[in-house]
């Protein structure tokens, strides 16, 4: 019967490494999409902020919002009086501001959607591994019961005296250890075929940043490995330490 337990369990976990690899690959694709959207969002926010600051500067000089910027536009030059110019500038400012706001809201919604998808994938991974761990625990308990019954049938002494708390805990600890080893083995099998990145040579996880040098040997880096956080996230182009030296950048 022990062979049957092992065979059945081996068959049940045969697809786990492939499933984990597929989920990890999906997480990386979502990370890449999120990175591109974050760059786009930061650009739109900077443009809108610049627009508002220019509008405020125009008001400070006695004009309408955006009038200073729009008056320098040759396409809007003409014989219109000052009132018409002010009204035109106001309309131009509002249109641009609404356009930026719409793009910012859309990009933010897409980022939230990606975050929800990543959470869903992580939950699937957890549920999958947890399901097999629980099955292993059930099989081990059933196997222990089967051995105890067989010893009784053969007239042998129980392997463990009833009520021996220390031995019972030791057996349960062994079961838990086997479950943890299974979990680590499943993750190791998935990680073995998952692409690795960064100077740490680990798989994609958490926040990552890409080096702008197209010839960079590593390309992608974990925030924690290059000393970055959400607060210190670079707003412009970012180069890794090796590429900064190679390109002579500070």
CA angle (222 as vertex; 191, 120 as ends), nearest 5: 60
Site of tokens 């979990």: 183
CA distance 243 to 250: 10
Q: What string of DSSP letters covers 169-186?
A: HHHHHHHHHHHHHHHHHH
pLDDT of residue 228: 92
pLDDT of residue 149: 79
* pLDDT by position in tens, the chain (length 250): 555 666 776 777 777 788 888 888 998 999 999 999 999 999 999 999 998 898 888 765 555 444 444 443 434 444 444 444 444 556 678 888 899 999 999 999 999 999 999 999 999 888 888 887 888 788 788 777 878 877 777 877 665 544 455 555 555 555 455 556 765 665 565 555 567 889 998 888 888 899 999 889 999 999 999 999 888 888 888 999 999 988 887 6
Q: What string of DSSP letters covers 44-86?
A: HHHHHHHHHHHHHHHHHTTS-TTHHHHHT-GGG-SS--HHHHH
């Amino acid at each position: 019967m022990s062979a049957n337990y092992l065979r059945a369990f081996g068959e049940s976990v045969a697809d786990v490494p492939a499933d984990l690899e597929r989920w990890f690959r999906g997480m990386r694709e979502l990370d890449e999409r999120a990175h591109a959207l974050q760059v786009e969002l930061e650009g739109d926010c900077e443009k809108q902020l610049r627009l508002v600051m220019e509008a405020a500067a125009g008001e400070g000089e006695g004009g309408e919002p955006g009038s200073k910027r729009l008056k320098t536009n040759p396409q809007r030059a003409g014989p219109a009086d000052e009132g018409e110019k002010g009204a035109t500038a106001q309309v131009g400012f509002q249109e641009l501001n609404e356009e930026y706001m719409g793009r910012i809201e859309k990009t933010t919604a897409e980022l939230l959607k990606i975050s929800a998808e990543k959470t869903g994938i992580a939950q699937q991974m957890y549920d999958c591994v947890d399901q097999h761990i629980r099955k292993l625990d059930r099989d081990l308990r059933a196997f222990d019961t089967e051995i105890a019954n067989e010893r009784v049938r053969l007239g042998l002494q129980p392997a463990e005296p009833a009520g021996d708390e220390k031995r019972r805990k030791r057996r349960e600890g062994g079961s838990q250890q086997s479950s943890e080893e299974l979990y680590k083995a499943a993750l190791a099998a998935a990680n073995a075929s998952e692409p690795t990145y960064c100077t740490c040579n680990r798989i994609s996880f958490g926040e990552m940043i890409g080096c702008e040098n197209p010839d960079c040997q590593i390309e992608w880096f974990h925030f924690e490995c290059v000393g970055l956080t959400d607060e210190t996230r670079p707003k412009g182009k970012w180069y890794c330490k090796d590429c900064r030296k190679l390109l002579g950048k500070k």
